[in-house]
């Protein structure tokens, strides 16, 4: 029953909430990274535990950018300070270095009742927002950052959705259009569906290492103007799922485009430390914007996002993050502060962790050497796996793989035989979903089909993380190669 109409004055007692009566926007939300393939992977793991015989002995999950789940060890200093914050009696324990204790004391002093179990101010703990500002200033070669422009968040996801909420409004042709890259990280399409925005796709150029071409932005916005009101441009740099790192020149062009078209810029920079390829460097949108001079730096509205979930930390579960807003109308900032207040505050342990990321051990402190050693080892291993993955994929007939310049993923293009595409259609599946499902069933490898991120019609891809430990990654790559050759033979 879709509506509860009174019959003879009596209301029928069906469920209040049904598929027909629920919020239709929520039904439109899709999130491939945790979609049907992952559900099947969970089921297969259960079957294996119960003794079922499969062609593999374990399911390897290379579907999600969750470093610790793939065996990455936490950075000692981060966990020491968090342990001290969570259980301050440990401050008496001489196993902990003095600098970790100092950080913990400073964080606890800033918490209500000196406990990380207390709520904090809604935009985050004041001294941590100051530390974030100092980190940004240092990162950007001294360009000033104001702590009043910093909002701590529950991972970057929360801050991204909050900014989208402020921006999305209007009806019909006046509805807010939001430009997102294709392929994209599906948080964006999901949030746009949820908030009822118009998604404007701009395609990254696979033939040019997934680079962004401003002419493509122009094409996309001109088409979209026929049916919505484009107001926002989202950029992910380094890219997920495509692993490209934007050049400084490209960022300048994007900023110029945003100014010309009067767009609010959202720069998702959660992979800012994950840059591996020679000749590539991370340039923050904030820095480039300010280096372009006051014509830009005093007008273009920008929100940039960072997180404790990626880089060398991989601390996804703590849900730490921040955003910096630039040139935001002061009245809107008041509204933003109100909006984040409704949710009380981001998790305080996540805020504490973020503080350590933006304010790591210094050369004269006891934890410095170990910290640098651990951080360097994580980033060097990722760089090696990025190289190894690209190299191996490009040896497989029918695979084309761009260099993994940054982030944590590879997004190779796979050619599928026409008969396999037909078979998928008969089974009611998108071809790359069919391919990934078969790979899971036959080899126990869990990937995400390219269709979950968007891709040009007639092309097929999958996303694989480079997070499994190197020995395991080698096995994964070999298994994918064998599967692909077998699959192609079966359908030719």
Residues that bind ligand PLP (CB under 6 A): 65, 155-157, 185, 187, 236, 240, 268, 270, 307, 309, 316, 321
Instruction: CB nearer to ligand PLP: give 31 or 491.
Output: 31
Instruction: CB nearer to ligand PLP: give 145 or 304.
Output: 304
Helix, strand, coil: what percent of the chain each, to 5? Answer: 50, 15, 40
Find the farthest-apart pair of alpha carbons in the chain and give their distance in angstroms, rounded. Answer: 81
Instruction: CB nearer to ligand PLP: give 88 or 317.
Output: 317
Cα–Cα distance list, 78 to 111, 173, 368 (Å): 18, 49, 12
Q: CB of 268: closest distance to ligand PLP in angstroms? A: 5
Q: CB of 81: closest distance to ligand PLP in angstroms? A: 20
Instruction: CB nearer to ligand PLP: give 197 or 424.
Output: 197
String of b and e for 465-488 (b: at least 16 CB within 10 Å)?
Answer: bbbbeeeebeebbebbbebbeebb
Q: CB of 407: closest distance to ligand PLP in angstroms? A: 7
Contact 180, 190 (CB under 8 A): no
Q: CB of 7: closest distance to ligand PLP in angstroms? A: 47
Contact 485, 395 (CB under 8 A): no
Instruction: CB nearer to ligand PLP: give 180 or 420.
Output: 180
Angle, helices 330-342 vs 155-167, to 10°: value is 130
Q: CB of 401: closest distance to ligand PLP in angstroms? A: 19
Q: CB of 269: closest distance to ligand PLP in angstroms? A: 9
Instruction: CB nearer to ligand PLP: give 139 or 319.
Output: 319
Instruction: CB nearer to ligand PLP: give 44 or 187.
Output: 187
Q: CB of 158: closest distance to ligand PLP in angstroms? A: 7
Q: CB of 386: closest distance to ligand PLP in angstroms? A: 15
Sign, CA dihedral 154-156-161-167, equals positive
Burial (CB count <10 Å: 0-12, 13-18, 19+), residue 180: buried
Contact 476, 61 (CB under 8 A): no
Instruction: CB nearer to ligand PLP: give 234 or 336.
Output: 234
Contact 129, 123 (CB under 8 A): yes
Contact 220, 226 (CB under 8 A): no
According to DSSP, the β-strands at 150-154 and 413-414 are unpaired
Residue nearest to ligand PLP (CB): 155
């Amino acid at each position: 029953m879709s509506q509860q109409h009174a019959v003879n004055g009596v209301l029928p007692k069906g469920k209040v909430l049904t598929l027909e009566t629920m919020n239709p926007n929520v039904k439109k939300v899709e999130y491939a990274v945790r979609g049907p393939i992952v559900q099947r992977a969970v089921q297969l793991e259960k079957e294996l535990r119960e003794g079922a015989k499969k062609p593999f002995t374990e399911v390897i999950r290379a579907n999600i950018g969750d470093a610790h789940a793939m065996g990455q060890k936490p950075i000692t200093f981060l966990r020491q300070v968090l342990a001290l914050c969570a259980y301050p009696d440990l401050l008496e324990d001489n196993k902990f270095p003095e600098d970790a204790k100092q950080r913990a004391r400073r964080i606890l002093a800033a918490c209500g009742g000196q406990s990380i179990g207390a709520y904090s101010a809604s935009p985050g703990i004041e001294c941590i927002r100051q530390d974030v500002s100092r980190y940004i200033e240092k990162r950007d070669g001294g360009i000033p950052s104001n702590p009043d422009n910093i909002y701590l968040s529950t991972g970057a996801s929360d801050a991204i959705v909050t900014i989208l909420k402020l921006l999305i409004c209007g009806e019909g042709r006046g509805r807010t259009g939001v430009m997102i890259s294709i392929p994209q990280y599906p948080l964006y399409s999901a949030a746009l569906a949820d908030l009822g925005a118009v998604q404007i796709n701009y395609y990254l150029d696979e033939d040019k290492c997934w680079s962004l071409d401003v002419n493509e932005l122009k094409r996309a916005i001109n088409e979209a103007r026929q049916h919505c009101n484009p107001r926002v441009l989202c950029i992910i740099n380094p890219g997920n799922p495509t692993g490209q790192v934007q050049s400084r020149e490209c960022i300048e062009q994007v900023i110029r485009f945003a100014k010309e078209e009067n767009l609010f810029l959202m720069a998702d920079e959660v992979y800012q430390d994950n840059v591996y390829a020679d000749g590539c460097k991370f340039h923050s949108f904030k820095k480039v914007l300010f280096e372009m001079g006051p014509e830009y730096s005093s007008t273009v509205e920008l929100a940039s996002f960072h997180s404790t979930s990626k880089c060398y930390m991989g601390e996804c579960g703590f849900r730490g993050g921040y955003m910096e807003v630039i040139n935001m109308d002061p009245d809107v900032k008041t509204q933003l502060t109100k909006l984040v207040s409704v949710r009380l505050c981001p998790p305080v342990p996540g805020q504490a962790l973020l503080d350590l990321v933006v304010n790591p051990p210094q050369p004269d402190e006891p934890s410095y050497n170990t910290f640098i050693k651990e951080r360097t080892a994580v980033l060097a291993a990722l760089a090696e796996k990025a190289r190894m993955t690209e190299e191996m994929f490009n040896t497989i007939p029918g695979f084309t793989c761009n260099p993994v310049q940054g982030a944590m993923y590879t997004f190779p293009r796979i050619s599928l035989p026409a008969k396999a595409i037909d078979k998928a259609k008969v089974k009611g599946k998108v071809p790359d979903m069919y391919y990934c499902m078969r790979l899971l069933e036959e080899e126990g490898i869990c990937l995400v089909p390219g269709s979950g991120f968007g891709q040009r019609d007639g092309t097929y891809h999958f996303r694989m993380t480079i997070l499994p430990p190197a020995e395991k990654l080698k096995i994964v790559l070999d298994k994918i190669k064998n599967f692909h050759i077998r699959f192609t033979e079966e359908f030719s």
